[in-house]
Amino acid sequence: MSQAIARLPRPRALLRYLWSLIAVPLVSFFLALLVGAIVIILSSTLVLKNPFDPTLPLTAYQALAQGAFGSFNSVVTTLVITTPLLLAGLGVGIGFRAGLFNIGAQGQFLMGAVGAVAVAANMQSSPPAIAIPAALAGGALAGAAWGFVPGLLKATSGAHEVVTTIMMNYIALASLAWIVKGPLKEMGSNPPTTPDVGAAALPILIGSTGHLGILLAFAAVPIAWFLLFRTTRGFEIRAVGANPDAARYAGVNPRLMIVLTMSIAGMLAGLAGACTILGISHRMNTTFQTKVGFDSITVALLGRSNPIGIMFAALLFGAMRAGAPPMQINAGIPVELVDFIQALILLFLIANAVLRRLLRLRGVAGAEQTGFQTITRSYGRETLT
């Protein structure tokens, strides 16, 4: 990238350069919507045998957009949904930076929520000023613990984090069920339910649902960015991810970094869970589940494990998730369509080399190379020696 910027060209060329920057994302996005539209029309005519209606996609997308931005409330909703995606996404992203493929955001999220409730339930009487930070900390710790374990296992026995984190997700489910039915069960509740988080409930700042967690999440972005790119710890994390051997030579202890990174990742995912339970649900029964864990992986990938990128990616996902129900309600288009569209955007973005050829743009080499090496090494390459 930097070379490209280094030699910033003359005005006319400058326009071409700018175009070369926005072209691919723009085209990707429209292609995704286009394919989505085709799917909508085809499915409604072929599957539902409806009369051919070319405006249906427009109706759908309009409903989607309105659900995401149509009103002040919908904007708030978007932010609320973005919050956990952003936090967990940052966690997964940092993992990628260290060459770790953390599929465990799911479990870390759940345990974070459990931790938060556990603390909150025992602090009903104390003032919010104390209860809220305590509950958040509880969530962060529980999540961190759930990330720490796979990290430790990899550092000590080399057990592959892809396996261990997947397994930890299911173990988290079981633990949650046990805790909600046992230690944390509110007397007389059936189905078993935890006490209300009471004093630890996050205050609503904007609209009817915009809770404190939103601030937390967006504050985490610059912090994560600073940690990664401006501190020695961040440098060590990235070094281990990019070349563990060189990192060792540089005096970094990869094992330590792996444990540390997994714990940080778990902590962020845990915070996401804590915010959800403290900000939205307020209490938990065994149906407490989430898609955030896996969405956050996509968010991190889409954001190229760069905090800034992750923020926008999370916003995009949040907007689509917020807009999906209205789309189903007002246009009768199943919510799952947005998953499909998200996949398409991602698809066209990583196929950008092809797009560029089609658009006759010169690609920016180098940047990409390093981009995927860091991520895919995290899967194939052995991080320890």
Q: Which of 66, 89, 108, 147 binds another protein (CB under 8 A)?
A: 66
Judged by beta carbon, residue 265 or residue 337, the one nearer another protein is 337
Least distance to another protein from the beta carbon of 210, Å?
Answer: 12
Helix (H, G, I), strand (E, B) or coil at 204: strand
Biggest distance spanned by C-alpha atoms of the chain:
74
Interatomic CA distance for residues 147 and 152, integer angstroms: 9
207: left (phi over 0), alpha (psi -120 to 50) or beta: left
Interatomic CA distance for residues 358 and 31, integer angstroms: 13
The position carrying tokens 């999220």 is: 109
Question: 131 to 190, contacts with another protein by CB under 8 A?
Answer: 153, 156-160, 162-164, 166-168, 170-171, 173-178, 181-182, 186-190
Q: Name the token pair of 211.
A: 């809770």
Q: Counting contacts by CB under 8 A, is residue 282 touching another protein?
A: yes
In DSSP terms, which residues pair with 204 in a beta bridge? 211
Q: Which of 133, 203, 336, 358 binds another protein (CB under 8 A)?
A: 336
Which of the ranges 134-142, 216-224, 263-271, 349-357 carries the binding residues for another protein, by CB under 8 A?
349-357
Least distance to another protein from the beta carbon of 322, Å?
Answer: 8
What's the distance, Cα to Cα, between the start and end of the chain in Å? 32
Judged by beta carbon, residue 108 or residue 276, the one nearer another protein is 276
Site size for another protein (CB under 8 A): 165
Residue 372 host element (H or E)? helix 367-379
Q: Which of 15, 130, 230, 362 binds another protein (CB under 8 A)?
A: 230
Q: Which of 1, 130, 134, 204 binds another protein (CB under 8 A)?
A: 1
Judged by beta carbon, residue 132 or residue 288, the one nearer another protein is 288
Q: Counting contacts by CB under 8 A, is residue 38 touching another protein?
A: no
Inter-residue contact 181 to 111 (CB < 8 Å): no
Q: Counting contacts by CB under 8 A, is residue 41 touching another protein?
A: no
Least distance to another protein from the beta carbon of 12, Å?
Answer: 22
- Residue 130: count of CB within 10 angstroms of its CB: 12
Q: Angle at CA 264, nearest 5°, toward 159 and 81?
A: 110
Least distance to another protein from the beta carbon of 107, Å?
Answer: 10
Q: Counting contacts by CB under 8 A, is residue 359 touching another protein?
A: no
Which of the ranges 55-63, 133-141, 213-221, 257-265 carries the binding residues for another protein, by CB under 8 A?
55-63
Question: 197 to 226, contacts with another protein by CB under 8 A?
Answer: 208-209
Question: 110 to 129, contacts with another protein by CB under 8 A?
Answer: none
Interatomic CA distance for residues 115 and 127, integer angstroms: 19
Interatomic CA distance for residues 61 and 57, integer angstroms: 6
Q: Counting contacts by CB under 8 A, is residue 19 touching another protein?
A: no
Q: Which value, in Å, is the radius of gyration of the alpha carbons in the chain?
A: 22
Least distance to another protein from the beta carbon of 144, Å?
Answer: 18
Least distance to another protein from the beta carbon of 140, Å?
Answer: 19
Half-sphere exposure for 57 (CA within 13 Å, toward CB): 19
Q: Counting contacts by CB under 8 A, is residue 28 touching another protein?
A: yes
Helix (H, G, I), strand (E, B) or coil at 210: strand
